[in-house]
Amino acid sequence: SLCAGVAIGVSLRQPAPHELDVADSMLRTADVNISGAIRAGREVEVFAAIEEYLAPCVGPLVMVLTWSGDVALKRRAMSLIGWIFYFTYKPCIEGCAPSSVQAEVDKVLRQPVRVLSADPLALNTMAMLLGDTHAGGDDVISNMHVPLYIANHLS
């Protein structure tokens, strides 16, 4: 979660391309670390870290998503919110029974969902960005699938 938190912090400002590469690498590292923790049976620690360090980042990311004039930065904010949801769902992806972790997933994502729901422009902007990814060319970031975890959770 520390790697992901730093990646989010770097991405909230106008990073240089090499800084974005580092941030993306940190997200992939966090993904691997979370998978390892889950395989070791440490889901409770994973959920606690996400709730403490990553969930509070959703508010600033929503501000970027809704108020930035830079489409690439908006896409980045949307992707980072998606990473938070993806990391929270990771125990289900890694094979934990959904019934055993769904209550914890809901608890961890309660505040991020409130933040997203409180700003109707946020979800509209996400829908527009996801619908327009084919037109983004080089501006489309990698791992564009992670925002789909937001839609999955909200449905």
pLDDT at position 133, please? 57
- Asked whether residue 137 carries a pLDDT value surpassing 60, the answer given is no
pLDDT at position 91, please? 85
The tally of domains found in the chain comes to 1
Q: Domain range for residue 55?
A: 2-154
Interatomic CA distance for residues 155 and 14, integer angstroms: 32
pLDDT in tens, 38-53: 999 999 999 999 999 8
Of the pLDDT bands very low, low, confident and very high (cuts 50, 70, 90), residue 95 is confident
